[in-house]
Amino acid sequence: MADIIQLLPDHVANQIAAGEVVQRPASVVKELVENAVDAGATEIRLIVKDAGKTLIQVVDNGAGMTATDARLSFERHATSKIRSAEDLFSLGTKGFRGEALASIAAIAHVEMNTRPHDDEVGTRICMEGGKLTSQEVTVTAAGTSVAVKNLFFNIPARRNFLKSNQVELRHVIDEFQRVSLAHPDIQFAMYHNGNDLFTLPSSNYRQRVVNIFGSRTNEKLVPVSENTEVLKLSGFVYKPEHARKSRGEQFFFVNNRFIKSPYLHHAVVAAFEGLIREQTHPGYFLYLEIDPKSVDVNIHPTKTEIKFDDEHTLYAILRSAIKHSLGQFNIAPLLDFEKDTGLDTPYGYKDRPASAPTIEVDADFNPFRDEEGEAGIPVSPGSFSTGGGKPGNTWGRTARKEDPSGWESLYIGLGDDDEASGNFSSVEIESDEVGGTSMPGQQLFDHRQGELPSVTTYQLHRKYIVTTIKSGMVIIDQHRAHQRVLYERFLRQMTVKEGISQQLLFPIVLHYSPSDMALLSELKGSMEFIGFAIDPFRGEEITITGIPSGVSESEVSIILEQLIADFKDEIPDSSFSQTDRMAKSLGKTLAVRTGEVLNEAAQEALVNNLFACKEPGMSPFNRPTYITITVEDLEKKFL
């Protein structure tokens, strides 16, 4: 039998290894920016074109590299961060694997210009598909500039799997924010297609958070601080009233490295228990300093997942520290049974002697004596009344009792005439009639002029609407059905650009971070087609002067928040058009929820509107909206 196992060629092995490190343009941004931080840079600039598909360039003023180091940096497992295996247990840097530049160079065109501060000239190296194309001496600024062009040019399958520019840019911004939040002492800047997205001067942690997420963030932050033998905790959490329905600003940093930890996240959520509404998530920026020997960061290629020696202790400290901060700053209610503030003595009364209270008794007061000398009208004991023209100064006077005779006259006429007495059992609510040509699904309701005209609809468990049809009954999921109705309505309005808008007497002003404002600017056109009237954007502020018909003012912020979250998280699928995705997001946000009570008129309207849709059987997310149960199915249950 011939041998079948053989070594892979170097270029194939490099491309396979690159798949672990470089998954999308954001992966390149992470590796290059972290290398700049490890190089001791105080200024880092990120330049991106077409969300990183065309160009990713990172320019820093760090230490720079010699010609030999620059060439060696593109070799696999070449690094300046560690020297032995023991160094893995006391890591103080970020990129220590030595695979970043090698993996990037294997799947892109890379140009590096670097110069140490002590040298007069630098080195320029060009790589293409993992092969060196040129190396020469050049004049360049001190530090390093790495430009990655045409990512995945030699792996078209991987390039085809990339999302839209909007989604990929969102991931690039996420990586940029994570590194910049961990190092507020470094000046960062980011540019996309020539536009300045972020300019972050050197500052402290709080100012860095505010610079990234907007000036309004400052009033939302509650500082958290705890110093123990196990860890040193610092950072901020959002006030409970600013909890969001989507997972927004949630950042953990361990030794200045961004991590993801569902276990520690649960500790934060537990600290907010009872303070935030259900289905909402708190925001936080928490920095943990732990002994590097008790942390293992070498378990994942992206190094965002780490292991701790004693997770239970970290959980307890994190939870208690956040609860303490919320209580210390009067965010959470406190109960102290050992002290009553009502018993506190003011400072001004410290040296004053106590005085006994005086009591005055009316010796002539007789509760059984007739008022004004008239008999037969006793004065009720202890009652208070103002009489005789003297306001409120007589204790024991009351008004006379009214004569109770003739009380039967109050009930004359009751029961004689139901219509006159207001019998509301026969009140009819006018509903919209659907006329014209037959609707999809209308054949289910052909019986309504026939044998069961009095049977309409009823709500089951505040979730389903049940109505009869000719062959049996229909059970409709009210949430999914309303999603379908709203989805087709918004889609039609955006398509014909005839959304009905109701003008607001007082405009609504909302504030968002720069990245959210960039996303809303792309959605502004579609939002106006469905009825939103939006003034030109100003910085971090958006002013809404009109809203779609049927939308309340209190729902506007919820709608925009859900829109931002859906487009950030690629929900719905980004393969659909922006119009379709927005219609789905709005339908999901505004649809009636499970648990909401619908009156008979609302139930009828929802049923009629559902079966007037083009596809009444499925929700916008391909879930069934109703099921039918025939009489034969019911009869089988009784066999």
Q: Dihedral sign, CA of 50, 54, 55, 56?
A: positive
Q: Is residue 383 part of a domain?
A: no
SS (H, E, C) 316-364: HHHHHHHHHHHHHCCCCCCCCCCCCHHHCCCHHHCCCCCCCCCCCCCCC
Q: Are residues 196 and 220 in the same domain?
A: no
Q: Which residues of the chain have pLDDT under 70?
A: 1, 10-20, 77-99, 296-305, 330-350, 370-455, 568-576
What is residue 408's predicted lDDT score, i.e. its pLDDT?
62
Q: Is residue 357 part of a domain?
A: no
What is residue 237's predicted lDDT score, i.e. its pLDDT?
93
Of 296, 328, 360, which closes a domain?
Answer: 328
Tally of domains within the chain: 3
Closest CA to 421 of 429, 411, 408, 406: 411
Q: Which residues contact 505 (CB under 8 A, 6 or more apart)?
A: none
Angle 37-42-46 from CA coordinates, rounded to 5°: 65
Name the burial class of residue 382, with classes exposed (0-12), middle (13-18) and buried (19+) by CB atoms within 10 angstroms of its CB.
Answer: exposed
Q: Is residue 365 part of a domain?
A: no
Closest CA to 369 of 355, 360, 381: 381
Q: Which residues pair with 254 in a beta bridge?
A: 257, 288
- The domain containing residue 58 runs over which residues? 10-200
Write down the residue that tokens 């004065």 correspond to.
Answer: 379
Structure tokens at 6: 């053989």
DSSP letter, residue 390: B
Q: Are residues 145 and 290 in the same domain?
A: no
Q: Is residue 599 part of a domain?
A: yes
Of 277, 311, 328, which closes a domain?
Answer: 328
Secondary structure (3-state) at 157? helix
Q: Which residues contact 19 (CB under 8 A, 6 or more apart)?
A: 158
Regarding pTM above 0.85, the answer is: no
What is residue 425's predicted lDDT score, i.e. its pLDDT?
40
Q: Is residue 600 part of a domain?
A: yes
**Rounded Cα distance, 113 and 139, in Å:** 9
Q: Is residue 346 part of a domain?
A: no
User: Peptide bond preceding 282: is omega within 30 degrees of 0, i.e. cis?
Assistant: no
Q: Are residues 164 and 92 in the same domain?
A: yes
For the domain that residue 475 is a member of, what is the CATH number?
Answer: 3.30.1540.20
Question: Which amino acid is it at 363?
Answer: A
- Order the strands of the 464-469 sheet from edge to edge: 457-460, 464-469, 472-477, 626-630
Q: Are residues 134 and 233 in the same domain?
A: no
Are 287 and 242 within 8 A, CB to CB?
Answer: no
Q: Are residues 50 and 176 in the same domain?
A: yes
Of 171, 200, 229, which closes a domain?
Answer: 200
Q: Which residues pair with 281 in a beta bridge?
A: 244
Q: Is residue 366 part of a domain?
A: no
- Order the strands of the 43-49 sheet from edge to edge: 131-138, 122-128, 109-115, 143-149, 55-60, 43-49, 187-192, 195-200
Q: Are residues 127 and 247 in the same domain?
A: no
**Rounded Cα distance, 506 and 546, in Å:** 10
Helix, strand, coil % over all residues of the chain, rounded to 5? 35, 20, 40
In 353-499 the beta strands, taken as DSSP E runs, fall at 457-460, 464-469, 472-477
Are 377 and 403 within 8 A, CB to CB?
Answer: no
Q: CA–CA distance from 3 to each of 7, 29, 231, 315, 621 (Å)?
A: 12, 42, 55, 53, 51
**Rounded Cα distance, 46 and 519, in Å:** 19
Q: Are residues 617 and 596 in the same domain?
A: yes
The four Cα atoms 574, 577, 579, 581 give a dihedral, to 10 degrees, of -20
**Rounded Cα distance, 281 and 112, in Å:** 42
Secondary structure (3-state) at 245? coil
DSSP letter, residue 9: P
Q: Are β-strands 295-296 and 55-60 bridged in parallel, bridged antiparallel, or unpaired?
A: unpaired
Q: Is residue 182 part of a domain?
A: yes
For the domain that residue 307 is a member of, what is the CATH number?
Answer: 3.30.230.10
Q: Are residues 511 and 534 in the same domain?
A: yes
Q: Are residues 77 and 20 in the same domain?
A: yes
Q: Are residues 174 and 219 in the same domain?
A: no
Q: Are residues 23 and 142 in the same domain?
A: yes
What is residue 573's predicted lDDT score, i.e. its pLDDT?
46
Q: Are residues 294 and 155 in the same domain?
A: no
What is residue 385's predicted lDDT score, i.e. its pLDDT?
42
Are 226 and 237 within 8 A, CB to CB?
Answer: no
For the domain that residue 61 is a member of, what is the CATH number?
Answer: 3.30.565.10
